[in-house]
Amino acid sequence: MNQGKITTEQTESNVMRYFQVNDQCNGCLACVQNCPANALRAEDSDANRVLSHNMARCARCGNCWRICPQEAIEFQFMLENGWDAVKSLELVYCSVCGVPIYTMDYKRTLSEKLGTSGEPTCSKHRDEVTRAAKAHFLKGRSPDMRGGAI
């Protein structure tokens, strides 16, 4: 058992890919001592010093990165201004023009809350469909039944 030692297997399973410490780290603790949010800590066990980072506490100020004399701290995705995909959802498209309007999960939520399950339409075509439905419903009715002037 690697008591106190972080193995490669453990770090690869972490979600914190944006905060990494490379092999240049020598455990000098400059980062720990200069973190204004106390998001870094060092724990010494029998044979190892374990540096830990808590992203919930992290102020994302980059102080640890700037202060590290070994340039061992890497904010790969933060510095590259990249995006990590966190969820992929199936899209629902307008049945008239094919433009994406919302996700399948959102459609299910709407159906459950509103009790509707009609054809999905974008705002442009929803208005057209509503006007066509009203015209069809009111077809053959007298003007006073349509809400118009007599």
Please give the Cα distance from 129 to 96 (Å, whole number).
10
pLDDT confidence of residue 27: 92
**Cα distance between residue 136 and residue 139, in whole Å:** 5
Q: Is 8-80 assigned to CATH 3.30.70.3270?
A: yes
Quickly tell me which residue has 């000098």 as its tokens. 28
CB neighbours (10 Å) of residue 125? 18
Q: Given this model, what pLDDT does residue 134 score? A: 73
Amino acid at site 58: C
54-67 residues labelled b (16+ CB within 10 A) or e (exposed)? eeeebeeeebbbee
Query: Nearest-CA neighbor of 58 among 30, 34, 36, 85?
Result: 36
Q: Is 76 exposed, middle or buried, given 0-12, 13-18 or 19+ CB atoms closer than 10 A?
A: exposed
CA separation (Å) from 33 to 40, 42, 68, 102? 8, 10, 11, 47
Q: Write down the domain spans for the chain.
A: 8-80, 91-141
Q: Which of 108, 81, 76 is nearest to 92 (CA)?
A: 108
| pLDDT tens-digit profile, the chain (150 residues) | 334 444 444 444 444 457 889 999 999 999 999 999 999 999 998 888 999 998 889 898 999 999 999 999 987 655 555 566 778 889 999 999 999 988 999 888 888 888 877 788 898 888 877 777 777 667 766 655 545 554
